[in-house]
Structure 1
Amino acid sequence: MDTEARPTTLSLDDAETVSGLVQSPAAPRACYVLAHGAGAGMSHAFMAAVADGLAERGIATLRYQFPYMERGSKRTDSPAVAHAAVRAAVAHAADLFPALPLFAGGKSFGARMSSQAQALVPLPRVEGLVFLGFPLHPAGAPSSDRARHLFEVRTPMLFVQGTRDKLAEFDRIEKLAAELGPLATLLRIDEADHSFHVLVRSGRNDAEVMQQMLDGAAAWMLR
């Protein structure tokens, strides 16, 4: 099975372009539009591992750069610019995989921008959102303010969250998922931090965590 990532180009609303990577098994059953976190782009080892692992589980991915990352800037895009990139990526995935169910989301910042875009105007053909470490609040400043828009989302949502995530206290995520009701599913990753790393003393390792994440996310998308 050839699942090598292939480069592609996404056109944004203002004629700007950003780069992307498409990865697919021979007979994909779904496609996940995967946005990167604030500090690292689409080629980061975590992003590549997610794409590789999902391909092994029958799911294609489209990774893409937000404009600020494409330019090499460390300052994230405004929400409006980021939302436009999310929409362009979803449209591109729909063109690439016209017969597949689409899912959107990503890591941290990418998860939040995808959910905000979906809350404002539903993303065409997207059947659910998958969040890999939703950033509920800044580190050391627990709050649920960043979750308000999620109550405007009308598609199923999967929260993949570590219990040691300093950007989302786990009891707050549990409470949020309960408040969101049947549309929210919470996949608990014991002992994992925001980057899904675990301490040696936990008795687990990062590879085991990745397998749990991928198995859970793939099963949820293909359910």
Structure 2
Amino acid sequence: MDESQEEIQFSSTGPSRELRGIVHRPADRPRAGLVVTYGRSNDMRNVFVRRIAEAAAAWGLFALRFNFRYVDEKSAASRDLCIEEDDLRGAIRFLRNAAGAAPLFVAGKSMGARVCARASSDPDVHTTSS
């Protein structure tokens, strides 16, 4: 992990849980913030997710990748993804505080994209899904 990356902890919304994440800071003031999520069988260390976060930071975005609580609890994702939505909303809150007034985006792959779509009811959050 290079100096622009840092392991962090933040709280989920809903039933409060401490979640782990890795932030990728841009060299200059962030132009935007990006939370990157993954599919059901992966975690924040997934190569695809890491590369997206690294590329985002290189382009001036403050990026965050994190583990949904079920990963660290070694359990399964919730059936309706409402718990994962709480986790994503906690990540968004952390990023909003860290990135300041910059626009916020969330991006996800597979299950992570569904969670992003659920969280897109927040008018301050822009989503990208795959």
Q: Which TM class, normalised by the smaller chain length?
A: 0.7 to 0.9
Q: Identify the residue that residue 77 of structure 1 maps to in structure 2.
A: 78
Q: What CA deviation, in whole Å up to 9, does each residue of 1:31-51 have, x standing for no partner? A: 111112111101111111111
Q: 1:25 to 1:129 in 2, by over 3 A?
A: same
Letter in 1 for 2:78: D
Q: What is the 5 A alignment of 1:1-223?
A: 4-12=4-12, 13-27=14-28, 28-73=30-75, 75-78=76-79, 79-118=81-120, 122-123=121-122, 125-126=124-125, 128-131=126-129, 133=130
Query: Does the residue aligned with 1:130 lie in a helix, a strand or coil?
Result: strand
Q: Please give the root-mean-square deviation of Cα atoms over the aligned residues, in Å.
A: 1.6
Cα displacement (A) at 1:4: 2.9
> Is this contact kept in 2: 1:36–1:47, CA < 8 A?
yes
Letter in 1 for 2:8: T
Cα displacement (A) at 1:30: 0.8
Cα displacement (A) at 1:124: 5.6
TM-score by length of 1: 0.53
Structure 1: 5+ residue runs without aligned partners? 134-223
> Is this contact kept in 2: 1:3–1:55, CA < 8 A?
no
Q: What CA deviation, in whole Å up to 9, does each residue of 1:197-216 have, x standing for no partner? A: xxxxxxxxxxxxxxxxxxxx
Q: Which has the larger radius of gyration?
A: 1
Report how many residues are paired. 126
Q: What CA deviation, in whole Å up to 9, does each residue of 1:110-147 have, x standing for no partner? A: 111110222xxx22621x2111x2xxxxxxxxxxxxxx
Q: 1:124 to 1:18 in 2, by over 3 A?
A: farther
Letter in 2 for 1:20: G
Greater relative CO, 1 or 2 (CA 8 Å, sep 6+): 2
Structure 2: 5+ residue runs without aligned partners? none
Query: Does the residue aligned with 2:90 lie in a helix, a strand or coil?
Result: helix
TM-score by length of 2: 0.87
Cα displacement (A) at 1:96: 0.7
Percent of aligned pairs with the same amino acid: 29
Letter in 2 for 1:19: R
Q: What CA deviation, in whole Å up to 9, does each residue of 1:177-214 have, x standing for no partner? A: xxxxxxxxxxxxxxxxxxxxxxxxxxxxxxxxxxxxxx
Query: What CA distance in whole angstroms lies between the structure 1 residues aligned with 2:93 and 2:38?
Result: 17
Letter in 2 for 1:130: T
Cα displacement (A) at 1:81: 0.5
Hey, which of these two has a bigger chunk of helix by percent?
A: 1
Hey, which of these two has a bigger chunk of strand by percent?
A: 2
Query: What CA distance in whole angstroms lies between the structure 1 residues aligned with 2:123 and 2:3?
Result: 26
Q: What CA deviation, in whole Å up to 9, does each residue of 1:51-73 have, x standing for no partner? A: 11111112221111111112123
Query: Does the residue aligned with 2:128 lie in a helix, a strand or coil?
Result: strand
